[in-house]
Amino acid sequence: METTATAQMPEATKDFMPINGTDYIELYVGNSKQAAHFYKTAFGFQSLAYAGLETGLKDRESYVVVQDKIRLILTSPLKSGTTIGKHIDTHGDGVKVVALWVDDASYAYNTALERGAKSYMEPTLEEDETGKVVRSGIYTYGETVHIFVERKDYQGTFLPGFKAWETPDYNPAPTGLKYVDHMVGNVGWNQMNYWVDFYENVMGFKNILSFDDNDISTEYTALMSKVMSNGNGRIKFPINEPAEGKKKSQVEEYLDFYEGEGVQHIAVATDDIIKTVRDLRSRGVEFLRVPDTYYEVVTDRVGKIDEDLAPLKELGILVDRDDEGYLLQIFTRPVEPRPTMFFEIIQRKGAQSFGKGNFKALFEAIEREQELRGTLH
Ligand code: FE2
């Protein structure tokens, strides 16, 4: 498998599936009300919109929170036997929808279906007094779906069917999270290339980076990864699959506990990672730690950087460099009881890659946590 140090952007002229950015991410969770509180309190998201009994829904409730360009919908069922409830029973809390902002949701849907996608939701017009939205949807790996959102004729708070969620008495300050940098999917044994082909053929994405099990392995575990990017580079989806190692890898642990393929992590960008991480830690967000010895050799590996090493070491922030610059990154512990989805905080200073130089230290840190969970065997 080819490994390149620098991400190669595909040519925009060939883009048959233009995507403006990530529109929203919907998580199915056991308790949407408490999850919304967690994302406000711990991560600094702001109250945005609500749908539930008060807006005429009978079977589910959703809270929408926002921070800069990042919108999360937190949805729970209001009764037993729903598809949402079954999703939560199988997978635990997790990402159901990765919604993509497009100019024409009918065109995106028809093009994807012609190219082999499986339909999740036919193009549907939704309207209220502030305008109209068209949404459509297709399946991707596992039970995860992409919804195409066309909102050029919409002026409302979020989507038709939602009302503004106003919380004048409780609005914790943002933590500097700005946009979704990339979202990673974990797929089963020998499934990575299937999903690489899916994103290439159905969505017009290009494979911009590949990592094999020599790049991503420790003494005990290994995985493989290919990074898919859309034409303008605003959407990046690395796809991981497990590789043979002496012990069970983090991807296998995820697949076991999620009971299937799904979103492994959401990477969110900040302009000041030291400030953001200090703030998140003070609000109770838990991060993976690498050993202090990481910082003894980091300067030799990445050269001169703008930041002082002391706060990076204090907070456990990792550094890596590629041909275009460097990046700073850190990973949270899973944000639900099952060892499944987590967040990455990333600050790019030129680098367009994903921290290959940190993989080994990072995966050893994950193995230490797997050991504590009894899942490294
Ligand atoms: Fe990442």
Task: State how far the Cα of 163 lies from the Cα of 109, in Å rounded to an integer.
Answer: 27
CA dist 147 and 138 (Å) reads 7
**Tens-digit pLDDT profile for residues 102-117:** 999 999 999 999 999 9
Helix (H) or strand (E) holding 335: none
Structural domains of the chain ordered from first start: 12-164 (3.10.180.10), 177-373 (3.10.180.10)
In the numeric block, the tokens 């099990």 are attached to: 213
> Does residue 4 carry a pLDDT above 50?
no
Structure tokens, 223: 């995985």
The alpha carbon of 236 and the centre of ligand 1 are apart by a number of angstroms equal to 10
What tens digit of pLDDT does each residue of 12-70 get?
456 899 999 999 999 999 999 999 999 999 999 999 999 999 999 999 999 999 999 99
CA–centroid distance, 80 to ligand 1, in Å, is: 35
Q: How many contiguous H segments (helices) and E segments (strands) does the chain have?
A: 9, 17
The predicted-structure confidence for 258-283, as pLDDT tens digits, reads as follows 999 999 999 999 999 999 999 999 99
H or E element that contains 51: strand 46-51
Distance 147 CA to ligand 1 centre (A): 22
pLDDT over threshold 90, residue 218: no
Structure tokens at 316: 């456990």
| pTM for the full predicted model | 0.94
pLDDT at 3: 45
In angstroms, rounded to a whole number, what is the distance separating the alpha carbons of residues 272 and 193?
35
Quote the ligand 1 centre to 69 CA distance (angstroms): 18
At residue 96's C-alpha, the angle toward residues 242 and 145, to 5°, is 80
| Average pLDDT of the chain, as a whole number | 94
pLDDT in tens, 326-342: 999 999 999 999 999 99
pLDDT number for residue 231: 94
